[in-house]
Amino acid sequence: MAVPYQRWRPHPWHGLSVGPKPPQLVDAFIEITPSDPVKYEVDKETGYLRVDRPQRTNALPPALYGFVPRTWCGPRVGALAPGATFGDRDPLDICVFSERPILRSEVVLTARVLGVLRMVDKGEADDKIVAVLANDPYWADAQDITDLPPLLIERLRHYFLTYKLVPGEENQVAIAEVSGAAVAYAVIEAAIADYDERYGAGEP
């Protein structure tokens, strides 16, 4: 029986699977590693990484940072967010902790979802799913965000509250709350539904 394949590189947002068991286990396409002083984002037209901007502060992301394929933050995600009515119209962001350093971006991994930072940016929902590498034995017992050391969550909060700071301008980013796995599952399901409505349901 022939092994299915794609002749061209699949688009990481539209051409990859959302994961093996969403919303508990999802795939993540990693754009930024904890050693990156530059903000990268996937180019929505080509699927390659584009340099977005150098970080203005010295803070580095404390976890792997990317997005969940085949998700989109639209009205359903916005309706769940404190202080927002619409999503940021991007794929759903995810932060993944790994005990062993992963120094390469543009990799795909499976993550176990633990919680979510309920972030609002300029009035739009910009949630950050918090997860661990699914097959990382160091995090084998972690099932909820409360199982992570509080210091790691504080580092995430500090990074996201400062990574868009512009001197002389008011900070328009706020983290309304830090929520556990159940809320994160609801956000992921909403982002999948928003994607399916906008781009069409079904596996790639």
Query: CATH number of the domain that 40 lies in?
Result: 3.90.80.10
Domain tally, the chain: 1
pLDDT tens digits along 160-177: 998 877 667 777 889 989
Domain-located, residue 2: no
User: What pLDDT score does 172 carry?
Assistant: 81
Domain-located, residue 122: yes
Q: 103 or 57: which carries more pLDDT confidence? A: 103
| Mean pLDDT, residues 129-143 | 98
Neighbours of 176 (CB within 10 A): 15
For residue 9, pLDDT beyond 80: yes
User: What pLDDT score does 109 carry?
Assistant: 98
User: What pLDDT score does 59 carry?
Assistant: 79
- Report the alpha-carbon distance of residue 25 to residue 17 in Å, rounded: 11
User: What pLDDT score does 41 carry?
Assistant: 93
Strand (E) positions, 15-91? 25-32, 38-42, 49-54, 64-67
Range of the domain at 80: 25-199
| Mean pLDDT, residues 7-32 | 95
20 confidence band (pLDDT: 50, 70, 90): very high
How many Cα atoms occupy the beta-carbon half-sphere of 185 within 13 Å?
Answer: 11
**Helix (H) or strand (E) run with residue 69 in it:** none
Whether the bond into 137 is cis, omega within 30 of 0:
no
Domain-located, residue 53: yes
2 confidence band (pLDDT: 50, 70, 90): low
Domain-located, residue 5: no
57 confidence band (pLDDT: 50, 70, 90): confident
**Helix (H) or strand (E) run with residue 6 in it:** none
Average confidence score pLDDT of the chain: 92
Domain-located, residue 9: no
Residue 39 β-bridge partners? 53
Domain-located, residue 12: no
116 confidence band (pLDDT: 50, 70, 90): very high
Q: What pTM was computed for the model? A: 0.93
40 confidence band (pLDDT: 50, 70, 90): very high
CA 175 from chain centre, in angstroms, equals 15
44 confidence band (pLDDT: 50, 70, 90): very high
CA 105 from chain centre, in angstroms, equals 14
- Report the alpha-carbon distance of residue 54 to residue 18 in Å, rounded: 29
Q: Is 120 left (phi over 0), alpha (psi -120 to 50) or beta?
A: beta
- Report the alpha-carbon distance of residue 65 to residue 150 in Å, rounded: 19
Pairing of the two strands 128-133 and 93-97: parallel
Distances (CA, A) of 142 to 22, 56, 78, 180, 183: 17, 33, 28, 12, 16
User: What pLDDT score does 4 carry?
Assistant: 65
For residue 120, pLDDT beyond 90: yes
Domain-located, residue 139: yes
Of 37-41, 86-90, 98-102, the least confident = 37-41
Domain-located, residue 10: no
